[in-house]
Amino acid sequence: MTKTWQKIFGLSFLLLFTNTACTSDTEESALNEPPPIVAEPPAAEPYVPAPEEAKPVQVTQKTRDTYQWYCSQCHGVEGKGDGMNALHLAVPPRNHTKADYLGTRTNQHLFDAIKLGGLAVGRAPCMPAWGNTLADEEITGLVNYIRELCQCEGA
């Protein structure tokens, strides 16, 4: 009987010891670890306006797909301003097939409207800004696509 108790005591001492050793081990290694590296926030990219002459960028199938994906909900599948969201907007989305207004705008204006949003060009804020979603070249492609839709040149 006594021997069994001795065994149990011995075992629990051993366990206690091992446990303590483990704990202090991890504590020590945590102390020795270098401090976590906190990533520097990326520096803000300087705003580079699109070149006034936006023609060299081709309207590709990808441009058309981008328009369908991001713009058609409001501007319509054919760009006529009749997308399924149009009814819910306080200001109607621009009809991109109409030259009467678009012909009076420069390519730079359209570029800014797409990149920075309606508000940035003195239009309605329900035209969202796409600068965080689309690259400048894609936006220039969209400007050229809108020129195709309206069959009009920039002012």
Q: Which residues bind ligand HEC (CB under 6 A)?
A: 70-71, 73-75, 85, 89, 91, 93-94, 105, 110, 113-114, 118, 121, 123-124, 126-128, 130, 142, 146
Assess contact for 52 and 108: CB atoms under 8 A.
yes
User: For the chain, first and last CA: distance in Å?
Assistant: 104
Closest by CA position to 133, among listed 67, 60, 72:
67
* Least distance to ligand HEC, CB of residue 155, Å: 11
Tell me whether residue 16 or residue 91 sits nearer to ligand HEC (CB atom).
91
Helix (H, G, I), strand (E, B) or coil at 21: helix
* Least distance to ligand HEC, CB of residue 30, Å: 49
d(CA 72, CA 33): 53
Tell me whether residue 31 or residue 142 sits nearer to ligand HEC (CB atom).
142
Tell me whether residue 85 or residue 103 sits nearer to ligand HEC (CB atom).
85
Token output for 2: 């006594």
